[in-house]
Structure 1
Amino acid sequence: MKHLKSSLSLAIALALQPVTSYAQDADTEKEQLEQDIEVITVQSSYRQNSLQSSTASIAVLSSQDIDTRNAINLEEVLGGVANINFSSGSQRARYFQVRGIGERSQFQEPINPSVGLIIDDIDFSGIGSVASTFDIEQIEFFRGPQGTRFGANALAGLIYMSSNRPSDDFEGAVRLTAANYNSYDAGVVLSGPASDAVNYRIVAEKNVSDGFIDNTYLGVSDTNNRDETTLKGSVAIEASNDLTIDLNVIYADFDNGYDAFSLDNTRETLSDQPGVDQQQTTAASAKFTYTGFDSFQLISILSHATSDLTYGYDEDWSYVGLHPWEYSSTDYYLRDKDNTTAEIRLVSEPEHRIFADTTDWVVGVFVKNDSEDLTRQYTYLDSDFSSEFSATNIAVFGQLDTHLTDKLTLTTGVRAEQRNTDYDNTDGLSFTPDDTMFGGKLVLSYQLSESSMTYASVNRGFKAGSVNSNGSLPDELRVFDPEYLWNYELGYKASLLNNSAVLRAAVFYMSREDIQISSYHLNERPDGSSEFISYWDNAAKGSNAGAEIEFLWDINDSVNIYSSLGLLDTDFSGFTYADGSRETGRDQAHAPSYQANLGANYFVTEQWLVNVNLDSKDGFYFSDSHQEQSDSVTILSASFSYLADDWQVKVWTRNVTDELYATRGFYFGNDPRDGYTPKAYYQYGEPARFGITFDYNF
């Protein structure tokens, strides 16, 4: 195994070609920069197709893109993707927003995520904090509803992560990273043939850090620490000439602390009982591809994931003695979550189109069972709260790709999905809602030339409703309904400047019906303090409009630039706040009006590479239920790498200027020193980071 391709992440000639190996030597990398652009493959569509020919707004980050950003977790690459945002309120980002739509937290309520996360065909939606990026081949970001392909988990979009496949020849890699805040990361990869018909891949990673918080009351700096272990194994089996089997196993143990909010809105906390954000997951998937039929391929995908999650925090963010009434409380949520999926689809072969040999087709069935047992341990409860939740989704879907002419194609897709839910809790609440939902798409694409195409599409997405489970909520806030989304989109994709540049652009308008909004209700306790109750409600209507533009240019053999821009204009109205006032129109939460990324790779010599990167984001509302907003921010990052045949050393930094920016915000009273006067509280993003990474490949 030769030199790891970690430094050319956004060079066009690399970023657009399919990633088939985890490593190559520096000379090969240099030669690739001199070649014409090749296309990258979108792997999670019904059919694998090129990014440039896909009729949707999709961004793809390759393993090189991930490595250039020096990323360890999914949250650390999101700044490079237009109109993708995330919410903290936890140790790692586990909730994502696409085009301004997506959840920001989960407490007691069982919810259907608006943005799905799938890793190696395993559904991690809503629990995405374990999304390690080590040995990931590529990450695909679907913007806009995917009602036909992914159903109820993709109202706003979906993130699909695929690991590197087992290799035909033996190879291996070792990565070691040391950074400030006592941060260390170590990973190893072994891959190769087990027999003529079986290849394997084994991956292990350990990441530890003190985190970015000083707890001045306890006198320690590791109450928001990270202790993360990820193990993965995959096997590719050539069972026969007609049958291939791909098996994946993932074990993740994230034993992280959680102590992020400060009464003084600094990185110094006063908590006497710091919290935790832990997740232990064991998951597996199996994909069977059978090509023995003349007219179609049979693809079957099975997956199962079991996760134990513990999320808890010091609710008063302080210590006994600071409060005049010796007030102290903690709030912990312990979840046992199981997720099983099964999908069977038939994908037509090109030689067996229907309707006078004009139409490719796909039909299939999807089943998902999701269960969650929750225990809440809260100081102000007379006894622990517990609930049992299960949901079964059954969907049928189909898609036709009709080639009207050599250049004009009409795509029609439909999905019908039934969700049956069963919910019980210790407050005596029983809830068994059933939702029948329909989604689909209509796309007309036209090949303008060999190097350019355009498309127009209408998509309908959906997500299920559910129940607010907190026993102290008023009855009128108990139930919320399904949400639907119509997306109207125009796109253009082209190779330019003699295939040295690529442009991808899309404009969209989305209309939301019965918006599910995360709000909160405050109950005042007899001692004068307030109980913060998160709940979900439906707003009357909303709209999201904007654009996504990506431009990549291989200027010469030594210089490459890359850029992306997301523009977003959102509003919602018809929502009634806790004080009885009614929203008549304002921006939606976690929906910045612009997100931009600009970077360059420069080969000083054949061995020395410099990367500079800028991420910029406008301010946004933290919640739909109050008026607090983040500030706009621009983050500068850079790296300096030496590339040898079998190894590489990189010195890197992120957030060079140590910008202070918030990733989550609340508004309520929690400080006894000012009489619990309501005000804004923030969780801050990553401060200035610097480190060194060593890669060795064999």
Structure 2
Amino acid sequence: MTKTPLTLTALAAAMLAGLVQAQNAPSTVEDILVTADFRPTGLLDLAASTTVIDAETIEQRSAVHLAEVLNTAPNVNFSTGASRGRFFQIRGIGERSQFVEPINPSVGLIVDGIDMTGIGGGATTLDIQQVEVLRGPQGTLYGANAMAGLINMVSGNPTEVTEGQVSVGVAEYSTRTASAVVSGPLSDTLGYRLAVGTTLSDGYQDNAWLNTDDNASIDEQTVRGKIRWQPSERLTLDVTGLYLDIDNGYDGFSLDNTRTTLSDQPGHDRQQTQAGSVKVQWQASSAYDLVALLSHARSDLEYGYDEDWAYPSICEDFECVDEGFNSFDNYVRDNDNTTVDLRLVSNSAEGELDWVAGAYYRDQNEDLLRQYTYLSEGFSSEFSTESRALYGQLGIPLAERWTLVSGLRYESRDADYADSDGSVFNPSEDMWGGKLALEYRDARGQLWYGLASRGFKAGGFNSSQTLPVNDREFDTETLWNYELGWKGDAFDGALQTRIALFYQDRDDVQTKQSRVAPIAGEECPCNFTDYTTNAAAGNARGLELEVNAQINSMTRVFASLGLIDSEFDNFQSFVHADADPENGVPYDLSGHDMPHAPSYQFAVGTHLQLTEHWYARVEVEGKDGFYFSSRHEAQSDAYELLNLRVGYQADRWEVALWGRNLTDETVETRGFGAFGNDPRDGYATKPYYQFGEPRIVGLDATLRF
């Protein structure tokens, strides 16, 4: 897959402008603190490949969900198969769907200290001040659910003076947004913040059978609340609450591979979450702080879709080779997740020994009810996991400019599973991860680092009794990550650059496969059994580059580039679409790209302060084509998207006209290959795709007080 001239030219132009012209810049790029580490750390001081997406980027894109800004982070991807991009991948590692089986996530998702891993549909951006993307294993800090990396979403904190804002927006496809935020003190020691928001839209699909245009509607409400109590300089208590009510439609696939469907039962993608966290930070002595974090999230999830993508009488209106079928598949999940994290963090001055020691506990319970047309009594399961971990990190100054950082985590995990088919599993395992990093500060204060880190993801099981015995369980996956990086600024802080080179070595790669079997001896409908197995190994190598430059008081330039070359090692698949299992000939995936790992990904843009009040922001983002799965050869197409915002900003109010994907590019966000679902052509196998957002133009207005 070749890099397009537009990609390289746009990125090179932006970087050259920053490097050459920033010398005369009168101001600096804002310094950013990353909060996901053990202690808040400057972005240029953190020895790891990290992206921070700030509140301005979220606002300037009129983004209401994480997936609408995630492409600005290099080597980060997402998949849909739902109303939102709710499954995330970092450096080509991460889940892409969930149906019957419980999943062990590879990418962690934390929202204000609340563990939302695996339920990314609720990653709304109301009042989010920054999104921190940590690439590579977080084996010391977060353990088994962050083998590929971590996404940490942080909302606004209570303020010392009363302030707030009200925003409304309208856009194409009957899109309406409204939000309000208010924050301030209740007393000298107590502050609060409350944010409320709603998003409504008809969505981007039409249904020709039902004659509707809202079969993929968006209906999302978010409420966030924070209270901060600081009775003394040594004690701070933060209480956070989150409520999500999501009732989205889902009708993503069309027999004709268009945005017009023929389904008689459009699906849905629903989530109701009540969650909260309590964080206590106490300076127990001059030597260390005690930090305690308790979080709990209860989520009721329902995901359903029209399996045949058609109406029952389709063969009366079209000439069909085979008689059609009609079915609906629905998954109702109750997900309860509780975490407790206790840690001691040293209060070390720069150049002194610093350390962290902690204990972690996680309890998750997930109950599933599957309601399927061809399962008269339905299917139910109960799944619970209990994880306990001890971890520590030590930073040792070796000389004036050198620091050695070592971290280690030991995690024990017990799982219990039982379902209505009589399957019972009780796996238990011990895992370990950590890191070793060598940091060097040169005479100009630039950070150079070398890093080796180990991540892990728990093994598991496949519940379907139709699978052979040797496919019922799969092993723990491990990942070694080796990274070299440099972070620095120049021209009095007007230019900031971050670059990382990495190599990742995966062992016992957990990968999704599927088997297809007729139901009740019929050719169709077909029963697709998804299951997880281990490939022998896999590896990836690549680069991440980010540049921010304040050219002058009117012009700011930003750019990012991600490159990755990934492949399976020694993986023979009998369930790949091109395998020949009847003759014992598998499909050789050795050397094959990993799914959802585009070879390049970029974003480049500029913010122009045209006058005292008028501004414009222009962005181009792009991505190479990538494989959707290791089960077939369906790929997305490479694309470049143009985004624009033009606004007028006064002291207390702002109005802006914005557009995303202004050239109306077709973007595939989920795909199935070698799949037959159309009776009109005899269920001939062909690829099918779900499409991302088309061109959309809108108008926002904000009042601040």
Tell me if TM exceeds 0.5: yes
Amino acid at match of 1:576: S
Amino acid at match of 1:329: S
**Stretch moving more, 442-451 or 324-333:** 324-333
Counterpart pick for 2:152 among 145, 155, 160: 160
Q: Is the 8 A contact 1:358 1:404 kept in 2?
A: no
Identity rate of aligned residues, in percent? 46
SS at match of 2:71: helix
In the alignment, the residues of structure 2 paired with residue 566 and residue 451 of structure 1 have an alpha-carbon distance, to the nearest angstrom, of 25
Q: Is the 8 A contact 2:324 2:679 kept in 1?
A: no
Counterpart pick for 2:465 among 471, 474, 482: 471
Shift of 1:533: 1.9
1:127-155 C-alpha deviation (Å, 9 max, x unpaired): 01111112111110001111001111110
Matched, 1:199 2:191: yes
Paired residue for 1:591?
A: 597
1:350-396 C-alpha deviation (Å, 9 max, x unpaired): 16x9xxx8421100000000110000011111311000000001000
Shift of 1:34: 4.3
Amino acid at match of 2:370: R
Q: Is the 8 A contact 2:114 2:297 kept in 1?
A: yes
Amino acid at match of 2:461: V
Paired residue for 1:549?
A: 545
Give 1:223-262 correspondences, 5 Å limit: 223-262=215-254
SS at match of 2:124: coil
**Stretch moving more, 533-542 or 306-315:** 533-542
Matched, 1:63 2:55: yes
Paired residue for 2:3?
A: none
Amino acid at match of 1:544: A
Matched, 1:683 2:683: no
Counterpart pick for 2:536 among 536, 540, 543: 540
Paired residue for 1:643?
A: 649
TM-score by length of 1: 0.94
In the alignment, the residues of structure 2 paired with residue 287 and residue 450 of structure 1 have an alpha-carbon distance, to the nearest angstrom, of 37
Paired residue for 1:279?
A: 271
Q: Is the 8 A contact 1:600 1:611 kept in 2?
A: yes
Shift of 1:406: 1.9
Shift of 1:408: 0.4
Counterpart pick for 1:604 among 574, 598, 610: 610
In the alignment, the residues of structure 1 paired with residue 119 and residue 566 of structure 2 have an alpha-carbon distance, to the nearest angstrom, of 26
Matched, 1:527 2:525: no
Paired residue for 1:577?
A: 574
Q: Is the 8 A contact 2:201 2:219 kept in 1?
A: yes
In the alignment, the residues of structure 2 paired with residue 417 and residue 576 of structure 1 have an alpha-carbon distance, to the nearest angstrom, of 32
1:492-529 C-alpha deviation (Å, 9 max, x unpaired): 01102332111100000000000010121111232311
Q: Is the 8 A contact 1:111 1:465 kept in 2?
A: no
Amino acid at match of 1:98: I
TM-score by length of 2: 0.93
Matched, 1:186 2:173: no
Counterpart pick for 2:405 among 386, 404, 411: 411
Q: Is the 8 A contact 1:650 1:694 kept in 2?
A: yes
How big is the alpha-carbon RMSD for the aligned residues of Structure 1 and Structure 2? 1.4
Paired residue for 2:560?
A: 564
Give 1:286-301 correspondences, 5 Å limit: 286-301=278-293
Shift of 1:476: 2.7
In the alignment, the residues of structure 2 paired with residue 477 and residue 669 of structure 1 have an alpha-carbon distance, to the nearest angstrom, of 25
Paired residue for 1:501?
A: 495
SS at match of 1:255: strand
Paired residue for 1:7?
A: none
SS at match of 1:160: strand
Paired residue for 1:345?
A: 343
Shift of 1:326: 5.1
In the alignment, the residues of structure 1 paired with residue 199 and residue 96 of structure 2 have an alpha-carbon distance, to the nearest angstrom, of 25
Q: Is the 8 A contact 2:27 2:553 kept in 1?
A: no
In the alignment, the residues of structure 1 paired with residue 558 and residue 264 of structure 2 have an alpha-carbon distance, to the nearest angstrom, of 46
Paired residue for 2:19?
A: none
Shift of 1:474: 3.0
Shift of 1:584: 2.3
Paired residue for 1:336?
A: 334
Shift of 1:450: 3.0
Give 1:65-80 correspondences, 5 Å limit: 65-80=57-72
In the alignment, the residues of structure 2 paired with residue 489 and residue 412 of structure 1 have an alpha-carbon distance, to the nearest angstrom, of 15
Shift of 1:92: 0.8
In the alignment, the residues of structure 1 paired with residue 308 and residue 443 of structure 2 have an alpha-carbon distance, to the nearest angstrom, of 62
Paired residue for 1:18?
A: none
1:147-201 C-alpha deviation (Å, 9 max, x unpaired): 0011111100000000000111111110101000000000001111111111001
Q: Is the 8 A contact 1:83 1:99 kept in 2?
A: yes
In the alignment, the residues of structure 2 paired with residue 215 and residue 41 of structure 1 have an alpha-carbon distance, to the nearest angstrom, of 46
Matched, 1:302 2:308: no
Give 1:35-434 correspondences, 5 Å limit: 35-323=27-315, 325=323, 327-350=325-348, 358-434=352-428
Shift of 1:294: 2.6
Count, aligned residues: 664
Q: Is the 8 A contact 1:342 1:367 kept in 2?
A: yes
Shift of 1:311: 0.3
SS at match of 2:59: helix
Amino acid at match of 2:522: D
Amino acid at match of 2:163: E
Q: Is the 8 A contact 1:577 1:625 kept in 2?
A: no
Shift of 1:341: 0.1
Counterpart pick for 2:629 among 623, 640, 652: 623
In the alignment, the residues of structure 2 paired with residue 162 and residue 518 of structure 1 have an alpha-carbon distance, to the nearest angstrom, of 32
Amino acid at match of 1:542: G
Paired residue for 2:640?
A: 634
Amino acid at match of 1:427: D
Matched, 1:658 2:664: yes
Paired residue for 1:26?
A: none
SS at match of 1:335: strand
Paired residue for 2:700?
A: 693
In the alignment, the residues of structure 2 paired with residue 583 and residue 670 of structure 1 have an alpha-carbon distance, to the nearest angstrom, of 26
1:564-600 C-alpha deviation (Å, 9 max, x unpaired): 0000000013242324414222000000000000101
Counterpart pick for 2:676 among 650, 669, 672: 669
Matched, 1:444 2:438: yes
In the alignment, the residues of structure 2 paired with residue 654 and residue 472 of structure 1 have an alpha-carbon distance, to the nearest angstrom, of 46
In the alignment, the residues of structure 2 paired with residue 444 and residue 91 of structure 1 have an alpha-carbon distance, to the nearest angstrom, of 43
In the alignment, the residues of structure 1 paired with residue 345 and residue 562 of structure 2 have an alpha-carbon distance, to the nearest angstrom, of 34
1:298-346 C-alpha deviation (Å, 9 max, x unpaired): 0000000000000010000001012554510011000000000000000
Amino acid at match of 1:683: Q
In the alignment, the residues of structure 2 paired with residue 175 and residue 34 of structure 1 have an alpha-carbon distance, to the nearest angstrom, of 32
Q: Is the 8 A contact 2:99 2:331 kept in 1?
A: yes
Q: Is the 8 A contact 2:594 2:627 kept in 1?
A: yes
Amino acid at match of 1:559: T
Q: Is the 8 A contact 2:364 2:385 kept in 1?
A: yes
1:543-574 C-alpha deviation (Å, 9 max, x unpaired): 01100000111111111111000000000132
Shift of 1:38: 4.2
Q: Is the 8 A contact 2:413 2:428 kept in 1?
A: yes
Q: Is the 8 A contact 1:577 1:583 kept in 2?
A: no
Counterpart pick for 2:482 among 465, 470, 488: 488
